[in-house]
Chain A
Amino acid sequence: MKKLWHALVSLFCRPAAKIGLGILVTVGFIAGVLSWQGFTSVMGVTNSEEFCVGCHTMQANLHELKDTVHWSNRSGVRAKCADCHVPHDFTDKMARKMKASVEVWSHITGEISTPEKFEENRLRLAQNEWARFRANGSKECRSCHDYKSMDFEKMRETSREAMRGAAQRNQSCLDCHKGIAHHKPATGNSRNPAFDGLMQAASSVSAKEGAVYYNVFPRTLYLDEALSQTAGKLEIAAAVKVLQEKGDAQQVEISAWRKSKGFGRVWYGHFGKNITQATLEKNVAQDAQRIKVTESREDPNTGLVWQKTSGVFWIKKGEVVEKIDPLWSVARDSYKSSCSVCHKQPDEAHFDANTWPGLFGGMVGFTSMDKDTQALVLKYLQSNSSDFKQAGH
């Protein structure tokens, strides 16, 4: 160790006795030029598309890009992997390059070594990228797309106002434009953590017989107290009347409306309003012994006859809460945060219960709500729509 140190000291500090200063500097200069050139070349190579898709894992990602406007378009400007995914400033770029050691590591260890394994991790990886873009205001996008250079008049009418607002707020592109270059991760199977709180609350509820409770999560309905024969599905936020409890099971009565046309499998909470409460199996829905019809009425808007129905089913104990408010509060938070990212969300009572599903269905694809949250938010919007807020208008 000491020997090495001495060798280094003499290498750097002992003056050259035989070689001229000019030659030393010249050789050093040439070596410097070559090293720097080599360094930037390596930076360039590791930023190239060929390098990025060099491992088998990334090839599917390139394939996804090929279907988008960032791959080919009428003006021939295109984005390569590094244009979006590697910061352009020196410091951040170096940090990112070193961070890529994690990617190399997970490739070597096999944690993410195939397109299939990538797919399993897509949501997490996308969230990393989304967080990065959120923090830097989508800086990489904006090295090409600059608000200052946008001609809003040339935009489609539908885009114009949204883009003007975004420019005023200096908004990060990815706030709205997620999933434009690669497939958006499927969020359908992930879970909104807010449901955990609701389910915990539900598990400690001791139900009183004869009182009305609200379902906190989509549940299976059963025909028997042993919970062995499936009757259908109880929707989120559906109201049930608890009749009795036996062991782990609860007997509940559901009162709802159904359309007389078809098999009457779908039950709705209110007359003439498409707010689903439960979906029954075909044979159960047709079972006149089990399902009581107490009233028939024609909906003047559609000419369809609706029937007031009720049925008694079993559910697992500990799945309902006394008040609907905590559910609505989860829904309201989700509605506000998800929708206001891109536009001012309309008032709940701005539309009626039968208009909301179409509007909501058209927009929800832009959000990252999982499917249960989607169902809950739609239920919330419908249940607080203009149909139920007449007094306010």
Chain B
Amino acid sequence: MPRKNPMCMAEWKKLLVLSFVLLPILLVGVVALYGFAVWGLQLLFLGPPGP
């Protein structure tokens, strides 16, 4: 019975999209942004990383 429930289907879809598509993209995006930010700071203020 609950398997036929359209609301249940919608929630499963959301769950899977969120955890396997959206958040992984977000992970890559955040890390990339972090990398670019550090690089930018190195160019402007920090200079090349020290020992």
Contact = CB atoms under 8 A, between A and B. Distances in A.
Interface of A: 11, 16-19, 24, 27-28, 30-32, 34-36, 38-39, 87, 89, 91-92, 94-99, 131-132, 135-137, 139
Contacts of A19: 8, 11-12, 15
A94 B34 contact: yes
A32 B11 CA distance: 19
Given A17-B7, A18-B7, A95-B38, A31 B19 contact: yes
Interface centre among B8, B16, B48 (most CB of A within 10 A): B48
A18 B48 contact: no
B8 to A, nearest CB: 4
Residue among A18, A36, A95, A137 facing the most chain B CB atoms (10 A cut-off)? A95
B7 to A, nearest CB: 6
A206 B11 CA distance: 90
B48 A136 contact: yes
Nearest to B27: A35
A35 B48 contact: no
B39 A98 contact: yes
Interface in B3-19: 5, 7-8, 11-12, 14-16, 18-19
A91 B39 CA distance: 10
Nearest to B5: A18
A103 B10 CA distance: 44
Contact of B49 (A11, A16, A18, A87): A87
A97 B2 CA distance: 47
Contacts of A31: 19-20, 23-24
Contact of B32 (A27, A32, A96, A98): A98
Given A31-B20, A39-B31, A131-B48, 11 more contacts: A16-B11, A19-B12, A19-B15, A27-B15, A31-B24, A39-B27, A91-B38, A95-B35, A95-B39, A98-B36, A136-B50
Contact of B24 (A35, A135, A137): A35
Nearest to B36: A98
A177 to B, nearest CB: 17
Contact of A38 (B19, B24, B36, B47): B24
